[in-house]
């Protein structure tokens, strides 16, 4: 270890993982990156996610400005990514690519 420079964690990354690091949040965002969806659709897409936790996570994601809750003409609601939420897509794609490598490394 030649480089003795002081290490610091990136404050932006800390902010990002305050959101993404909560269990299920990134997976909910991934589901909504495919298309807008109703509560029940998101719940069905994510195995083992309870209604109570999904409700809490969606509220956090709305508050964080990543998801909008939209009332449609019939009075029902659905959820969709905001522009900031959409911008997470390349990062999720990069993580998915890495996870493929990880899976391959473990299988070999």
Smallest gap, in angstroms, from Cβ of residue 53 to a copy of itself? 13
* Percent helix / strand / coil, the chain, rounded to 5: 60, 10, 30
Smallest gap, in angstroms, from Cβ of residue 83 to a copy of itself? 8
Q: Interface with a copy of itself by CB under 8 A: which residues?
A: 1, 3, 5-10, 12-17, 20-23, 25-27, 30-31, 34-38, 41-42, 44-47, 64-65, 72, 78, 84, 87-88, 90-103, 105-106
Nearest to a copy of itself of 13, 56 (CB atom): 13
With beta carbons less than 8 A apart as the criterion, state whether 25 and 79 touch: no
Smallest gap, in angstroms, from Cβ of residue 30 to a copy of itself? 5
**Token pair 């690519």: residue:** 97
Write out the two tokens for 28: 């909910």
Pick from 9, 75, 76, 14: nearest CA to 41: 76
Smallest gap, in angstroms, from Cβ of residue 52 to a copy of itself? 18
Measured in Å, how far apart are the chain's first and last C-alpha atoms? 30
């Amino acid at each position: 270890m030649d480089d003795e420079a002081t290490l610091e964690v990136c404050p932006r990354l800390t902010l990002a993982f305050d959101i993404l690091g909560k269990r299920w949040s990134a997976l909910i965002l991934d589901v909504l990156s495919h298309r807008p969806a109703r509560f029940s659709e998101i719940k069905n897409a994510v195995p083992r996610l309870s209604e109570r936790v999904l409700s809490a996570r969606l509220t956090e994601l709305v508050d964080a400005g990543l998801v909008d809750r939209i009332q449609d003409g019939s009075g029902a609601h659905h959820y969709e990514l905001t522009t900031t939420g959409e911008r997470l897509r390349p990062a999720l794609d990069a993580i998915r690519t890495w996870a493929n490598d990880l899976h391959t490394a473990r299988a070999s």
